[in-house]
Structure 1
């Protein structure tokens, strides 16, 4: 019944290899399945027991129960885990990607979820939907409807049925045709991948420019009220100002709190608003409000609502989600916005032990030149900027001290760029937030990580950031994440490959205790064209299948891989091998590398799955660094005095006209003014 049959000799070798591993006592962890070598075709398992790849099930339509994603489960010859693919196209793409078979072995059998008696339909938005639990059918025994009007959150939907009659009935109602497995396997799918996110990143930068330009137009309004001349206080002036006008706040200290219920601009020139230490200082409850040129202190110390309902102990539960939104969104802030879309915050400085700027309920905002000074220890403070279901565009800002510099929760499409984060717990912290851009930021001395993305979002781009002296440089989960052109220096960990179906490329990873850590049990990401130099250990891997860190004949640059009698292009490099891992640190490792025992171990890794577990191989290590100029800038003379570095990734990834213009400049930019605009205007 195995639908992917191989020659008998190879099958025999595989069964012997699996039996050998089982004899050695390899134990599958939770959610794993080890096929009985006596069985040619294992039965399908509950989908919750698979390790999922493909489209994240975290999509809002799926979570809300409005869509159904056809699924596949696959048993591989050299993998003890059953792999679940969300979307038929995700599995078919893996059959020809050049990496899956090397990492997992060949697919012994694959099953698809079929929808014969599940009322298959489409939603008002055209998403495929079905009721009840489906059965599992071998992929070559199913009938597939392609080209119908049904789609999934990732694109085209291929709908499997056990019987041809059921498939034809669905096609009659929704269009398309009925085909067999061979046709589906040969079909080209537009799989939404991390490469697509790479192509979108420059456009997101341009979108930020457009949002900022629109914010400037919003804030440019005629003066209607001057505090001290036309009204005794800022709050009174705002209440008296007509909509779409400007309130001017002259220099001075104003001991009050302000509520904004109209679409007005509040602009100060050296003015400071000082609250009484209770509650928020400025509360915005109107659309298209602009706040400019103010200094704010006297914020209350309540960081969250202690009465918020929900269990905060489970990071994946709906109760936890609700707790965070109501709890984190219920604290004090220098500026709190509630249901206030179109907010503009420009040239503002806030001193607080709670939140600096708190956005709730669709308070989409453009933030420029904001400085937030938080608590000296993160346990005593909160977020510089908190965004709850509110898309933000942050540029040229600085966040120092407190819990997290920026915390965004369900804030899809947000952009954080050209900003500085220092002495926080996390610099940029995203939760349930996808399609974001985190670019060209400078991060220093963060306790846990410079950039971290938790839960299971999709489509984030983390590019061009410079993270140093932190617990970790970048830790991003989710799917279809693009992590590239970052400079990660002197951290405990450079980056982790926690995101699935993602692309990690052109990162410079220098002088970290550990350069990179492979964390997903079933690898599905590409790690290529990165430079690993001067790390105590270049890379490590947890339990799971062999990770192949290369893309065809292009691998990564590993300092030490090219030492010894053979150059790096003549030998694979294994950063998780005790011998290879020591090549850049121990001269004696060069001799051990060529010993008969090392050669035998290499061969064993290639044949016995258990001997490959928790390992990384680069079959095509580069002989020269990909970004030598950035490496020189962080390791050469005077590097300790150099400013942050940001690779000119837009010159590489943008449209042809932008690339040509950008290439006329240097490809590495040393930032000397990030985060200093605020100080030059007296933000202290």
Structure 2
């Protein structure tokens, strides 16, 4: 029987890599003299066939119906995909970022959607609108109306036409002036970026402080009824209490379910496990406390005895049968109608403080605008995630969660169309997902600790916009951070010992100052057309630092500033003086096998270096950092997870709120490459 020798196998892989470099260099050399693609100008395609950039799903929704957004499609010389830009401003912005041409090549031709025969105008709310099918005109031949009264949800809109007469007619009716492409391209557009989200993140933290302080004031009400003295049960006490007063619940166990229809505070003695705690135990059916009034506060309780229904299949089925309900609607109807320790329906201003919930369903379920704050919350779910549900479920209800803990169950926090939510300073252990956002934008997920998450610590799905994921510590999970959407800011996170550190799934986003240590895979580039920046991250001790799926070359740097890659400085060159390619089989081995440096310095490798970036065939599905850092950006955080005193459980905190925009940060220009 053959014996597997790791050392021999590694040497064999390095030899094969060298042979592969020679072969690839030969192919690349032949390809360098192929016909110039600019000799054949491609025709426009259906926009649905382009890879779209520039919009979130929520803006898509705002533009449905009568509203219209002018679009651009571009053919690049070294990209096999047609890139579709939603909004002329997003295309103009991409022409200035200095990275697009490096990755995609030069634009062979760009077509703009024109509206000459589509009865262009505005909706009642002022959004630009046009009917019928539009034509496609080369951007240099079109005429544009600027500064009219038409707009999009993002602001003013540039309206293109194939003829000057059609443009002048629109300007006569809606104001503005007619200009050519040179004037449009020279204009400055206020394009929101992930750098904007970075700047807003500290404000969101302060917003959480304000919400919590306001919640404490709402909960602080004079006592009107004491259970056991003035009323026999909590339910009876709530029914007897005048609005804006407190029902005091002394220590003990209360076997009942409670419905709250007035603005009161239910204040127990504490959520602990000792004799001084106040326990409310349901009968195992439905929710234990159901809230239908605004500004209700629940404090100092330990809750058990919820039902185990996690969703309402009948509601989802009725939606499908009656209106052909969408997946989104079915999720809201299914997930929003399960059992919980505390369920709020149409009850904004809910305050939950010092509450523990032992549940086989949800800890807190919020529905229909039940905006809530939760602090000191403990939700203990099921051992197997398939048997339980969410610690907090927010359906169209904004939540602010701080200083809380979620153990077991399906997702620690699941938010669905809960824009503006904030999750901070909390701990998530043994969930499916720690924090899971769907259709939820402008949120802050900050300074949380995630441990042993089955699927991921933080997951964001369905193309939301403007989320900030900062300062989190994710360890020993399948994935650290997987965030889709657009204009996402992922910064100052510590990702250790996961199968995957983070993926660059979001478009037009910024990934910076993350410490990525000892993961099986540090980062994965997933978007087909790169449109994000990845800069100033520290990659140390990962099995593979980064991989890339199909798509254009990803340039992970910002000008002359790249990332720190453990092993990139191996060899005769000065640290940081030579580009590093984590997707190259040779460069990827440098931090594991010093002998790979010999292969890297081979004549074939140097030839391939010279050709790379000029030959389309040598660029697909790869990552390059042209300016790797000579030393980690955050050595103190790296040492905190790798040094002698490293704590496997204690989270590593990054002072991201005080970081501001020091010289060490990425610049605030438009995004470029993931």
- State the TM-score, normalized to the length of structure 1: 0.89
Please name the residue that 1:271 is paired with: 278
Structure of greater relative contact order (alpha carbons < 8 Å, 6+ residues apart) = 2
Please name the residue that 1:585 is paired with: 592
Q: Distance in 2 between matches of 1:373 and 1:362?
A: 25
Say if 1:61 and 1:67, in contact at 8 Å, map to a contact too: no
1:247 aligns to 2:240 (yes or no): no
Deviates more, 1:597-606 or 1:444-453: 597-606
Q: Distance in 2 between matches of 1:623 and 1:90?
A: 34
Alignment of 1:143-182 (within 5 A): 143-182=143-182
Deviates more, 1:272-281 or 1:152-161: 152-161
What SS is found at the alignment partner of 2:386? helix
Q: Distance in 2 between matches of 1:124 and 1:654?
A: 41
Q: 1:234/1:113 Cα in 2 relative to 1: closer, same or farther (>3 Å)? A: same
Please name the residue that 1:673 is paired with: none
Please name the residue that 2:542 is paired with: 535
Q: Distance in 2 between matches of 1:196 and 1:115?
A: 32
Please name the residue that 1:391 is paired with: 398
1:646 corresponds, among 643, 653, 659, to: 653
Please name the residue that 1:92 is paired with: 92
Deviates more, 1:369-378 or 1:175-184: 175-184
Alignment of 1:125-274 (within 5 A): 125-269=125-269, 270-274=277-281
Q: 1:82/1:229 Cα in 2 relative to 1: closer, same or farther (>3 Å)? A: same
Q: Distance in 1 between matches of 2:150 and 2:648?
A: 57
Structure 1 residue 237: Cα displacement: 0.8
Gaps in structure 2 of 5+ consecutive residues: 1-26, 270-276, 666-674
Gaps in structure 1 of 5+ consecutive residues: 1-15, 24-34, 660-684
Q: Distance in 2 between matches of 1:214 and 1:21?
A: 66
Say if 1:61 and 1:153, in contact at 8 Å, map to a contact too: no
Say if 1:19 and 1:37, in contact at 8 Å, map to a contact too: no
Q: Distance in 1 between matches of 2:422 and 2:30?
A: 51
Alignment of 1:206-355 (within 5 A): 206-269=206-269, 270-309=277-316, 319-355=326-362
Q: 1:329/1:87 Cα in 2 relative to 1: closer, same or farther (>3 Å)? A: same
Deviation sequence 1:178-235 (CA, Å, 0-9, x none): 1100011111111111111111100000111111111111111111111111111101
Structure 1 residue 130: Cα displacement: 2.1
What SS is found at the alignment partner of 1:515? strand
Structure 1 residue 57: Cα displacement: 4.3
What RMSD in Å do the two structures reach over aligned CA positions? 2.2
Deviation sequence 1:278-329 (CA, Å, 0-9, x none): 000000011111111111000001010121336999xxx9610011000011
Please name the residue that 1:557 is paired with: 564
Q: Distance in 1 between matches of 2:358 and 2:661?
A: 38
- Count of residues in correspondence between the two structures: 627
Please name the residue that 1:362 is paired with: 369
1:575 corresponds, among 570, 582, 592, to: 582
Alignment of 1:635-674 (within 5 A): 635-640=642-647, 643-653=650-660
Say if 1:74 and 1:109, in contact at 8 Å, map to a contact too: yes
1:421 aligns to 2:420 (yes or no): no
Alignment of 1:105-124 (within 5 A): 105-124=105-124
Please name the residue that 1:376 is paired with: 383
Say if 1:311 and 1:323, in contact at 8 Å, map to a contact too: no
Say if 1:475 and 1:497, in contact at 8 Å, map to a contact too: yes
Say if 1:417 and 1:441, in contact at 8 Å, map to a contact too: yes
Structure 1 residue 61: Cα displacement: 4.5
Deviation sequence 1:611-632 (CA, Å, 0-9, x none): 2111000001111111011001
What SS is found at the alignment partner of 2:313? coil
Structure 1 residue 21: Cα displacement: 9.5
Q: Distance in 1 between matches of 2:150 and 2:264?
A: 45
- State the TM-score, normalized to the length of structure 2: 0.90
Please name the residue that 1:29 is paired with: none
